[in-house]
Amino acid sequence: MKTYVNPVLTCSLVAFIGLFIGCSDLKETLPAASQTIGVHPSGWLSKTSSDFHGATIRAQGWDMRSCKNCHGGNYDGGTSGQSCRACHTETLGPEACNVCHGSTTSAAPPTDLNGNSDQSYRGVGKHQVHLMGTVRTAPVGCSNCHQLPSGNIYDPAHINGNPDNRAEINFSVVAKRATSGVTPSPVYYEVGGSCADTYCHGAFKNGNGDRLMFWNGGAALSAACGSCHGDLTKATLAEKALPKTAAQGGTHPINLACSTCHGGVVNASLGFVNPSKHVDGRLNLNGTDVTF
């Protein structure tokens, strides 16, 4: 009687045995730490390649924890012997803020998650103006507009698993600072990229709380005296900066010599002598910070 041999079954069995032996050999003969394993595609380290590792991490919702399986818990080599920290030299290595957004000098864009650097992009906007401060204002921390991650970067408040990972706006701290008779209720309008009713831009006593400020360009006038308090249509700088008087429904005295009372902030020419005293949640009178 002739025995029938199933060729498909035989091939499958041989393949399985070969795979088993191959795996056993691999476990017993792991390469030395100095050797390179061809696990990743050739363009893995090239930013111009479609196989760049940053693109893969983005597609994974910015979750790079699987990298630790081979590169170690601190990305310093692990079983692969290849340290991610050779390039990512920051304290947190690949998980440092400016790896995904910002630069070597700042954690805030530019660049944004898409590599954009122009202010017209939502992810860029006025980040640097706020975070670094200007000749008129002190730096405004991230927590004024965003909920910062707690514990690690994978806090849902920071990374939500979406490749675009659009940042949520959660106004707090100085942005919601209440003053006498005024309690801001900040809002961000995603369509158009504007915000309104923030302490920072006029929602304070004798300020212009109803003024829209544009995050990524447009009709932005937020850097001009008179945009947050005063009247931009006036002729002189002092007139533009004058907060609301009784005739305008406010309580500020009609005095254009700002430095007389606010000399700790500006000089007689309205040049800022101490930007940190401007937009800080307090009123500086005669060199003393008071609540207003």
229: CB partners within 8 A, 6+ apart: 202, 204, 206, 207, 208, 241, 242, 243, 244
Q: What are phi and psi of 257, to 5 degrees?
A: -90, 80
Report helix, strand or coil for 57: helix
Decide if 272 contacts 278 (C-beta within 8 A). yes
d(CA 189, CA 145): 13
65 conformational bin, left if phi > 0, alpha if psi -120 to 50, beta if neither: alpha
Q: Which of 107, 60, 112, 54 is nearest to 84 (CA)?
A: 54
Which pLDDT score is estimated for 31? 41
Q: Tokens at residue 154, please? A: 């994978």
**What pLDDT, on the 0 to 100 scale, is given for residue 192?**
84
What is the reported pLDDT for 67?
Answer: 95
- 159 vs 33: CA distance, rounded Å: 32
pTM of the model: 0.76
Query: Tell me, what amino acid is at 254?
Result: I
Whether residue 216 contacts residue 126, with contact meaning beta carbons closer than 8 Å, is answered with yes
Q: Is 282 within 8 Å of 291 (Cβ atoms)? A: yes
- Cβ-contact 126, 147 below 8 angstroms: no
Walk along the chain (292 residues) and give the pLDDT tens digit of each residue: 444 444 433 433 333 333 333 333 333 343 444 444 468 998 999 989 999 999 999 888 889 999 999 999 999 999 999 999 999 999 999 999 999 999 888 889 999 988 899 988 999 999 998 998 888 888 899 999 998 888 789 888 888 777 677 788 999 999 999 999 999 999 999 888 889 999 999 999 999 988 888 888 765 455 678 889 999 899 999 999 999 999 999 999 999 999 999 999 999 999 999 999 999 888 999 888 887 7
Residue 10's H or E segment, with its range, is helix 7-28
Distances (CA, A) of 240 to 137, 149, 261: 18, 40, 17
Residue 146 is inside which H or E element, if any?
none
Backbone angles phi, psi at 284, to 5 degrees: -95, 110
For residues 207 and 200, the answer to whether their CB atoms sit within 8 Å is: no
**Structure tokens belonging to residue 278:** 């401007």
Q: What is the pLDDT of residue 24?
A: 32
Q: Where are the domains of the chain?
A: 39-95
Q: What is the pLDDT of residue 77?
A: 95
Secondary structure (DSSP) of 177-221: --BTTB----EEETTTTEEES-GGGT-STTS-TT--EETTSSS--
Neighbours of 114 (CB within 10 A): 14
CB burial of residue 191 (10 Å; 0-12, 13-18, 19+): exposed
| Per-residue confidence (pLDDT) for residue 193, from 0 to 100 | 87
CA 145-148-151 angle, 5° bins: 175
